[in-house]
Chains A and B, each alone.
Chain A
Amino acid sequence: MSIITLSSVSKIYSEKTARKTVALENINLEVNEGEFLAISGPSGSGKTTLLNMIGGLDSPSNGRIILNNKDITTLKENALSHIRLHQIGFIFQAYNLIPVLTALENMEYILMLQRIKKEERQARVKDVAFRLGIDDLLDKRPSEMSGGQQQRVAIARAIVSKPKLILADEPTANLDSKTGEILLDLMRELNEEHAMTFIFATHDSSVIKKAKRHVSLLDGMVKDDQAK
C-alpha cells in the first residue's frame, strides 16, 4: 500500500535577479508502507529538497505529493504541522535536538505536543530509550552528549511517537563508521519490527547497501530506481 506518491513534482528556485535554479524536475515516485528507501546522488542533485517536500517542510513549484491519501501540496502550514507531528518523524544530519531540554525531555516533547498522558509518555520514552541504549543519558542535555549519542536521541525522538514515516537526511554523515553502522542496523530493525517506512537522503554507501530500495538522483531527476 502506497504511503507516498509524487506526481510530476518539480521545484524551481526563482531568484530576484530572474535567475532560475531547477532543484527537482518532473519527479514521479511511489513509496509503499514499510519500505527502507535510500535516495542518493551527488551534492546538488536534489536529495534533501525531495525529502523536505515529502515532509511538508517545503512546497513544490509543480506537481502533487500525496501522503497517506492526502494531497499535502494544497495544505496550509498549520495542517502541515499537524501531519508532521502525527505522521512523520525527522532525523537530521546535525541531530537538531532542542539544546535547553534533556534527552528525556527532547523525546517526551513530541508526545506532549500530541497531548499524550504523562504515564503513557514516560512508558514510551523509557521503552524507546532502553531499545536504543540511551537509558543512561536521559538526564543529559545535548551539549553533554557525543555526536553518536545525540543521533540516537534524535532517532528516539523520531520514533517515539510511532509515526508511519521516518525521513532521515544524511543521518550518518557526522558519525564515525562504526556508530553509523550500529544506528543503521537499529533503524533497519525498527523498520522490520514496526513496519515503519524509512526514507534516507544519503551519500553514504553503507546506507545504500542496507536499503531495500535505492533511488538515485542526478540534476534533479530520477536517474535510477532499483528494488533489492
Chain B
Amino acid sequence: MNSLMVILAFRNLARNRVRTTMVIAMIASSLTLLMYFQGFMDGIIEQMTKDTVRSETSDITIYGKKYRKEKDLNNRLTHKKYVLKKLSYLDSIEEHFERLEHDAMIASPYYSQGIKVIGLESEKEKDDFILSTRIKEGDYSFPNENAIWIGHALAEKLGTGIQRKLVLTVQDSKGEIIGEAFRVTAIIQTNNPKIDRASAFISLTKAQALFNVPDITQLSIKIHDQKRLREVRDTIQDEIGNHYEVFTWRQLFPSLQFMETATQSYIKISYVIMFIIMMIGFVGVIMMSIMERVREFGIMMAIGHKFKQVSLIVFWESLMMSFLGFLIGTTLGFGLLYIVNQTGVNLNIFGQGFEQFGIASIIYPPMKIAYCFTPLLAVIITSILSIIWPLRILYKLKPIQSIQFN
C-alpha cells in the first residue's frame, strides 16, 4: 500500500519536471552553501584555537598557586619532581612539557620593547606545539645557549633578522638586573598576536640560568582522550593538591570558547533562517502542486481514498524532493569542502590584516560528517511542516467540493 503511495508521489513529481528540478536545486544549493559556510567558520575557529592554544600550552596546564593572578617568579611552580611523580600514576597523560616564562626588555640597535621571554624544551615540544611548523625564517633549533627565536612582527619592529644580535635585559629571581646578548636563529609566524608581537623563545636551561631559578612557571600536559579533558583536570588537581592550580585549555582561553560558542550559534541561526526561507518557498510549491490537483484528490477520495492516504502521497512528494535536494546538496557541499580543504581559502582576496585578529590568511575548512546531520533533520522537519497548511486547505473541502474545484 505504501509502495503505491511512493510510486504515485514519484510519478507526480516526474509530471512537472521543471518545477521539481527547481525545488531540488533550491534545496541543494542552499545546503551546499550552508555546509561551505559552516566548514569555513569551523576552519577559522579551529585554526585560531590551534594557533593560540598550541603556541602557548597543551591540553592541561599546571601553574604555581598564585601565578595566574600575579606572574611573578616567586609564584613559580616549585617541587616539580613531586608533581611529576604524581602525574606518573595517571595513565590518561600522554606527555608533559616544561616552560619558564617571564618579563624582559628586548633591544636592537634601533628599538626596544617589553616582551615575554619563554624558555622551552624545543625537541620535546616539536610534534605537539605548532612553533616547529611556523618558522618563517631560520631553523627550529637552539644551536647554542644564546640562540633566540622571535615573532615576525617583533622582528619587524626591532628592524632585525636572522643571525642579528639582540640584547635581553631581565630581573632575576633575586632582583638583580641582568643583560645578555642573543643571536636570532628563527623568526616565527603563528597568527597568535601575543607570540608574533611580544614574545621571544630561548632554551629552557638558558632561561633557568638567566632568571636564576631551577624551576619552571608552567607544566603543560597532553592527554590521550580529549573527551575526558575536564575529568583529567579534576583528577590532576586532586592528586597534586591545592598548592597548584590546574586549568584546561578552555579555561585558559575563555575568549576562544566564547568565539566557538558564538560561531556555532551564528551557524545555527543561519540554518534556521535559511530553512524558514526554504520552507516558505517550499510551501508555495506544495500549495501550487496541491491546488493544481484538488480535483484529482477529490476523485481519489470519491473512489475510496482516505484523507490520510492523500496526505501520505503529498508527504512522500515533499520528502522525495527534500531528500534528493539533501543528497545532492551534501554531495556538492562535501565536494566543495574537499577542494578547499586541499587548496585552502585565501582570505587575502578579501583584504589584508586578518593576522592582527589572530586569523590566518589561508583557512583550511575541515570536512565533518556531522555537517549533514543538521541539514538532514531540517529537511525532514521542512518536509513535514511545509505540507501542513496546503493539506489543511484540502482537508476542509468535501470530496464533491474537490471534484468541482476550479
Contact = CB atoms under 8 A, between A and B. Distances in A.
Interface in B79-127: none
Interface string A100-113: 11000000011011
B11 interface: yes
Contacts of B295: 96
B307 interface: yes
Contacts of A58: 398-400
Contacts of B305: 81, 85, 113
A110 B296 contact: no
Contact of A100 (B12, B398, B400, B403): B12
Most buried by A among B11, B296, B303: B303
Interface residues of B, number: 23
B405 to A, nearest CB: 13
Contacts of A36: none
* B interface SS class: helix
Given A57-B403, A92-B299, A101 B11 contact: yes
Contacts of B301: 81
A47 B1 CA distance: 35
B312 to A, nearest CB: 12
Contacts of B14: 100
A90 B304 CA distance: 10
A101 B306 contact: no
A83 to B, nearest CB: 9
A147 to B, nearest CB: 17
A55 interface: yes
Contact of A98 (B296, B306, B398, B399): B296
A55 B299 CA distance: 12
B15 interface: yes
Interface string A54-89: 010111000000000000000001100110111000
Contact of A115 (B1, B296, B399): B1
B140 to A, nearest CB: 69
B4 A112 contact: yes
Interface string B1-28: 1001000100110110000000000000
Contact of A96 (B1, B4, B299): B299
Contact residues on A (Cβ < 8 Å of other chain), bracket = 20 to 34
A52 interface: yes
A86 B303 CA distance: 9
A157 interface: yes
B300 interface: yes
A61 to B, nearest CB: 13
B304 A100 contact: no
Interface in B13-54: 14-15
A112 B1 contact: yes
Given A96-B299, A98-B296, A57 B304 contact: no
Nearest to A78: B306
Nearest to B12: A100
Contact of A77 (B1, B12, B307, B403): B307
Contacts of B1: 112-113, 115
Contacts of A109: 4, 303
B308 to A, nearest CB: 8
Interface string B43-85: 0000000000000000000000000000000000000000000
Contacts of A78: 306-307
A100 B15 contact: yes
Contacts of A42: none
Interface in B279-312: 295-296, 299-307, 309
Interface in A94-129: 96, 98-101, 109-110, 112-115
Given A77-B307, A109-B4, A112-B1, A52 B400 contact: yes
A84 B303 CA distance: 6
Contact of B296 (A57, A85, A99, A112): A99
B303 A90 contact: yes
Interface string A143-183: 00000000000000100000000000000000000000000
B117 to A, nearest CB: 78
A91 to B, nearest CB: 10
Nearest to A84: B304
Contacts of A101: 8, 11
A112 B8 CA distance: 13
A113 B1 CA distance: 7
A95 to B, nearest CB: 10
Contacts of B302: 55, 57, 84, 90, 96
Nearest to A49: B400
Contacts of A96: 295, 299, 302, 403
Nearest to B9: A100
B394 to A, nearest CB: 12
B299 A57 contact: no
Contacts of B306: 78, 81-82
B304 A86 contact: yes
A99 B293 CA distance: 11
Which of the listed residues A59, A82, A100, A110 has the most CB atoms from chain B within 10 Å of its own CB?
A100
A99 B299 CA distance: 11
25 contacts: A55-B302, A57-B302, A58-B400, A77-B307, A77-B398, A77-B399, A81-B301, A81-B306, A84-B302, A84-B303, A85-B303, A85-B305, A90-B302, A90-B303, A92-B403, A96-B403, A99-B15, A99-B296, A100-B14, A100-B15, A101-B11, A109-B4, A112-B1, A113-B303, A115-B1
Given A58-B400, A90-B303, A98-B8, 11 more contacts: A57-B400, A77-B398, A81-B305, A85-B303, A85-B304, A86-B304, A96-B302, A101-B11, A112-B4, A113-B309, A157-B303
